[in-house]
Amino acid sequence: MNEIRWPGILQTVKSHTEYLWFQTQRQEEFVCITDEIAKIVMESGVQEGMVLVSAMHITAAVYVNDLEYGLIEDIKDWLNGLCPKADYRHHRTGEDNGEAHLKNLIMHHQVILPITNGELDLGPWQQVFYAEFDGQRRKRVVVKVMGE
Amino acid sequence: MNEIRWPGILQTVKSHTEYLWFQTQRQEEFVCITDEIAKIVMESGVQEGMVLVSAMHITAAVYVNDLEYGLIEDIKDWLNGLCPKADYRHHRTGEDNGEAHLKNLIMHHQVILPITNGELDLGPWQQVFYAEFDGQRRKRVVVKVMGE
Amino acid sequence: MNEIRWPGILQTVKSHTEYLWFQTQRQEEFVCITDEIAKIVMESGVQEGMVLVSAMHITAAVYVNDLEYGLIEDIKDWLNGLCPKADYRHHRTGEDNGEAHLKNLIMHHQVILPITNGELDLGPWQQVFYAEFDGQRRKRVVVKVMGE
């Protein structure tokens, strides 16, 4: 954490970076990470700012929506319909995960969460998720807090 | 608004947060909010920075595109095709808005707009929209300006 | 570039803005811009922060995924399926690019890339792309670095 202080003025400008590691048991798995992000924000000491939560892989997403298990299964089915398994050109490279790349694109790989009064400034039902589309191996999310 | 000043150096680091409230008359309604965001940026006094515009709900989106009413209806039709009304698992909870959650995901719930020389740094046709997919009740967008 | 320095403390708060211009030869063309973004970050001198990379047009996207040419063609085919050429209401204005607007929405027009230790903090396969959906004319991407 880098911190800037100067005498007589209370505010500081800070950045703080952490990495969350995932190794899901299934190829596709959605993991709620709101509590981990909230903890990193608290530890950063940032009172006003933003936190970037961004998958470092091209077959995983980070999104904000409801922690309701029926809906999570609905989202998986919906993505399977829009990004079906198929004989993609990409598979000529030896890969077999073309549809996971497309799911990454449609869901977007990152969110920026506002921090207000030292806390994640989310709506009442907003939860942060890591969505793994090609798992069963170690993958990372970068969490970068910036603010004062 | 938090503001950091120190003698002899003109630049300041600022953050500024406001909330926009919406209660749309229809269940689905797109509202152009470029002017409201521009006003908040001006009031913040930030000259160089970014503004996060983020829906605080999981059945609404914030997006940037054209203020052309034909296109807006095209977008609604297109979303109805990709995110149809259906018997979602989510509806077992008593909800009936599964498709609104999917529309939120495909449209993304937030944008970050650059601020340059004290103004929103948008292209000639870029307008900011709040897209409501499950309205007729009070909902919020957080607008957080950060910069100097 | 705006830079804030004060005696006795090494950190500085900076913002740095550049614009990338594109004029693609084809109507649809994806251009890898990771190296250009990395160069702008290096020139900014920012060690810890974020860089916003945002298309200034409503028929182009910026996304992060794989630099694999088969996959890039897969993505184009997939987008043509989800956003087909059709007789959109938008075309009553004299335009003929309705599907390019929808592709912009599904791919999102911007990314935020973290900067750690003075470098883009990307995963091993993450590359940044400008995706043009209505090209053969001059269009811009704004690149804004913020940090310290």
What is the predicted ipTM? 0.92
Band (A2; pLDDT cuts 50, 70, 90): very low
Query: Which of C1, C3, C4 to mutate: most B Cβ within 10 Å?
Result: C4
Q: How far apart are CA C111 and CA C55, in angstroms?
A: 9
* B25 touching A (Cβ < 8 Å): no
Using CB atoms, which residue from B11, B64, B121 is nearest to C4?
Answer: B11
Q: Which two tokens stand for residue C59?
A: 């028929």
Alpha-carbon span A4 to C137, nearest angstrom: 45
Whether residue B110 and residue A112 make contact (CB cut-off 8 A), yes or no, is yes
Rounded Cα distance between C14 and B13, Å, is 10
Residues C30 and C76: their CA atoms lie apart, in Å, by: 9
CB distance from A6 to chain C under 8 Å? yes
Which alpha helices (H) appear in B1-146, and where do they start and end?
34-44, 69-82, 98-107
Sheet containing B127-132: order of strands: B29-32, B127-132, B60-65
Q: Is the pLDDT of residue C1 over 60?
A: no
Asked if the C-beta of A140 comes within 8 angstroms of chain C's C-beta atoms, the answer is: yes
Instruction: Give the pLDDT band of residue C12 (cuts 50, 70, 90).
Output: low
Residue type, A82: L
Cβ A16 vs Cβ A144: under 8 Å: yes
Residue B101: which of A29, A59, C64, A77 has the closest Cα?
Answer: A77
pLDDT at res. A14: 85
Q: What integer is the mean pLDDT of C31-52? A: 97
C76 has a pLDDT exceeding 60: yes
CA distance C70 to chain B (A): 24
Taking Cα atoms as reference points, which of B83, B18, A140 lies closest to residue C125? A140
- Contact A102/C at CB under 8 A: yes
What's the whole-number mean pLDDT along residues C65-72? 98
What pLDDT is recorded for position B126?
Answer: 98
Which residues, other chains included, contact B39 with Cβ-Cβ below 8 Å and sequence gap of 6+? none
pLDDT band for position B12 (50/70/90)? Answer: low
Number of Cβ within a 10 Å radius of residue A91: 15
Considering CB atoms only, which of A50, A68, A70 is closest to B52? Answer: A50
Tell which residue, A31, A53, A29, has the closest CA to residue A120.
Answer: A53
Inform me whether the C-beta atom of residue A52 falls under 8 Å from chain B C-beta atoms.
no
Q: Concatenate the DSSP letters of all residues of B99-116 into one string.
A: HHHHHHHHH-SEEEEEEE
CA pair distance A123, A111, nearest whole angstrom:
14
Q: pTM to 2 decimals?
A: 0.93
Q: Compute the distance between CA of residue C140 and CA of residue C89 in angstroms, rounded to an integer.
A: 26
pLDDT, position A12: 58
The answer to whether the Cβ–Cβ distance between B140 and A126 falls below 8 Å is no
Please work out, in degrees rounded to the nearest 5, the angle formed at the alpha carbon of residue C105 by the alpha carbons of B77 and A132. 110
Residue C8 reports pLDDT greater than 60: no
Indicate the DSSP class of residue C99. H
Question: What residues in C contact A110, CB-CB < 8 Å?
Answer: 111-112
Whether C49 sits inside 8 A of A106 (CB atoms) is no
Share of chain B above pLDDT 90, in %: 90
Geometric angle at alpha carbon C89, from A107 and A83, rounded to 5°: 25
Q: How far does the CA of residue C65 sit from the closest CA of chain B (Å)?
A: 17
Q: How far is C125 from chain B (nearest CA, A)?
A: 23
Locate the chain A residue with the closest alpha carbon to C111.
A110
Q: According to the model, what pLDDT value does residue B2 have? A: 47
Our separate counts of H helices and E strands in chain A read 3, 9
Residue numbers in B near C146 (CB within 8 A): 48-50, 146-147
Give the closest of C13, C47, C71 to A98, CB-based: C71
Q: How far is Cα C45 from Cα C145, in angstroms, rounded to an integer?
A: 10
